[in-house]
Amino acid sequence: GGGAPGMEYVMGIKGKDFAMACVSATAVQQIITMKHDEDKVMRVDDHRMLVTSGEPGDRVQFGEFVCANVRLRNMRHGVKTSTKAVASYARQELAKALRQGPYQSNLLVMGYDEGKGPSMYYLDYLATMHEMNVAGYGYGSWFVLSMYDNLWHPDLTQDEALGLMQKGIDEVRRRLSVAPSSYMITVVDKDGIRHLKTLEYGS
C-alpha cells in the first residue's frame, strides 16, 4: 500500500499529571514527502486525543470514525466518555474489522480524566490494547523505548518529558537512516490539549 509505516515516529509518555506525544509530522507517499506539518493528533474532546499512525488513508478514516461515534455517545448521554472507554471502543472496532477488512492503523489513546488523572493506551492494527507509561510506533521507537525505560519515572514533569522527547528525536536522527525531518509535540492535562512544539530539520 501507500505510506511507509516503519518510517513514522510516535512516542508517548505518561507523566505525573499529563500525557505527552511526539509524532513525526511528515506525510509520505512512495518517495515523495507530501507534507512536513501533518498533525496526526485528533481531538476526541477537550481532554482526550488519538495519536494515529500507519496507512495514510486508514489512519485518518479510522481516527475520524472513532471521534464521530464517541462524540455521538457524549451528545446522546450528556457525558464525557472516559479515556479507557474511548480506547476500548476503538479496540473493538479494530477487532471487528480485523478478519474482514483491517484498518492498517496504530494509535495511542491519551487523555486526562477528572479524578483519575492521565492515562495512555497503546493500540495496534491487530486490536492489541495495553495501558502503558511509555509507548511508541515505527523503527525510531525501537531505539527510544529502551532509552525511556532507563529515564522514565512516575513523577515526570512536563518540562522533563519535553526534554525526553528532544533526546528521543536526537537519537532517532543520529541513528536511523530514514529518520523523519519534522516532529510535533502535543500534551494533554487537566487544562486540555495543547500543541507544544513543532521541530523541523533540514533533511
Partner 1 sequence: GGGSMSAKYDRAITVFSPDGHLFQVEYAMEAVKRGTTAVGVCGKDALVLAVERKATAKLQDPRTVRKIVRIDEHVCLAFAGLLADARVLVDRARVEAQSYRLTYDQAPSAEHLARHIAGIQQKYTQSGGVRPFGVATLVLGFDGDSGAPRLYQTDPAGTHSQWKACVIGKNSKAVREWLEKHWEEKEGGGAAAELAVQALMETVEPSAKTIEVAVLTAKGGLQIMEDEALEALIKKVEEEKE
Interaction site with partner 1 (CB under 8 A): 64-65, 68-69, 71-72, 75-76, 78
User: CB-wise, 69 or 181, nearer to partner 1?
Assistant: 69
Residue with cell 523523519: 180
Task: Report the distance separating Cα 101 and Cα 124, nearest Å.
Answer: 15
Give Cα 192 to chain centroid, integer Å: 16
Work out how close the CB of 76 gets to partner 1 at its nearest, in angstroms, rounded to a whole number: 6
User: CB-wise, 64 or 170, nearer to partner 1?
Assistant: 64
User: CB-wise, 35 or 71, nearer to partner 1?
Assistant: 71
User: CB-wise, 39 or 64, nearer to partner 1?
Assistant: 64
Exposed e or buried b for every residue in 22-54, given b needs 16+ CB within 10 A? Answer: bbbbbbbeeeeeeeeebebbbebbebbbbbbbb
Contact 11, 136 (CB under 8 A): yes
123 closest CA partner among 83, 71, 70: 83
Work out how close the CB of 74 gets to partner 1 at its nearest, in angstroms, rounded to a whole number: 10
User: CB-wise, 72 or 126, nearer to partner 1?
Assistant: 72
Work out how close the CB of 45 gets to partner 1 at its nearest, in angstroms, rounded to a whole number: 11
Work out how close the CB of 126 gets to partner 1 at its nearest, in angstroms, rounded to a whole number: 25
Work out how close the CB of 65 gets to partner 1 at its nearest, in angstroms, rounded to a whole number: 7
Backbone angles phi, psi at 93, to 5 degrees: -65, -40
